[in-house]
Amino acid sequence: MNKLEQLKKRSQVVADTGDIEAIRRYRPQDATTNPSLLYKAAQLPQYKGLIGDSLNWVQRHQGHKNPAETARLAAIKLAVDIGAEILQLVPGVISTEVDARLSFDTRATIDYARHLATLYERVGVPRERVLIKIAATWEGIAAAEILEREDIRCNLTLLFSLCQAIACAEANTSLISPFVGRILDWHLANGERKAYPGEEDPGVVSVRNIYHYYKSRDYDTIVMGASFRNSGEIEALAGCDRLTISPQLLQALEENTGKLESGLPTNIQPQPRPTRKLSEAEFRYQLNNDAMATEKLAQGIRNFAKDQQRLEMLLQSQVIGHQKTDAATNP
Position 328 confidence tier, pLDDT thresholds 50, 70, 90: low
- Distance (Å, rounded) from C-alpha 21 to C-alpha 39? 16
Q: Kindly state the average pLDDT of the residues 42-54.
A: 90
Model's pTM, two decimal places? 0.94
Q: Does residue 197 carry a pLDDT above 90?
A: no
pLDDT in tens, 218-229: 999 999 999 999
Q: Kindly state the average pLDDT of the residues 5-28.
A: 93
Cα distances from 202 to residues 141, 153, 188, 215, 244, in angstroms, run 24, 29, 10, 20, 18
The residues pairing with 131 across neighbouring beta strands, listed in sequence order, are 95
Give the percent of the chain with pLDDT over 90. 86
Residues whose CB falls within 8 Å of the CB of residue 274, separated by 6 or more in sequence, listed in order:
166
Position 146 confidence tier, pLDDT thresholds 50, 70, 90: very high
Coil, helix or strand at residue 32: strand
What type of residue is 142? A
Residues whose CB falls within 8 Å of the CB of residue 69, separated by 6 or more in sequence, listed in order:
none
Q: Is residue 277 flagged as an active site residue?
A: no
- Distance (Å, rounded) from C-alpha 54 to C-alpha 81? 8
* CB-based contact 314:55 (threshold 8 Å): no
* CB-based contact 246:271 (threshold 8 Å): no
Stretch among 154-163, 188-197, 210-219, 227-236 having the lowest mean pLDDT: 188-197
Residues whose CB falls within 8 Å of the CB of residue 25, separated by 6 or more in sequence, listed in order:
247
**How wide is the angle at C-alpha 113 spanned by C-alphas 89 and 209, nearest 5°?**
75
Q: Kindly state the average pLDDT of the residues 73-80.
A: 95
* CB-based contact 33:83 (threshold 8 Å): yes
Give me the pLDDT at residue 330, please: 59
- The answer to the question of residue 136 being in a domain is yes
- Distance (Å, rounded) from C-alpha 115 to C-alpha 252? 37
- The answer to the question of residue 327 being in a domain is no
Give me the pLDDT at residue 234, please: 97
Helix 162-170 / helix 291-329 crossing angle, nearest 10 deg = 70
* CB-based contact 139:105 (threshold 8 Å): yes
- Distance (Å, rounded) from C-alpha 64 to C-alpha 315? 14
What is the domain count for the chain?
1
Q: Kindly state the average pLDDT of the residues 177-183.
A: 98
Give me the pLDDT at residue 41, please: 87
CATH number of the domain to which 288 belongs? 3.20.20.70
Beta strands per DSSP E along 68-174: 94-97, 130-135, 154-159
Give me the pLDDT at residue 320, please: 80
- The answer to the question of residue 91 being in a domain is yes
SS (H, E, C) 256-309: CCCCCCCCCCCCCCCCCCCCCCCCHHHHHHHHHHCHHHHHHHHHHHHHHHHHHH
What residue numbers bound the domain in which 139 lies? Answer: 3-17+27-318
Q: Which of 77, 133, 215, 296 is catalytic?
A: 133
Q: Kindly state the average pLDDT of the residues 172-183.
A: 98
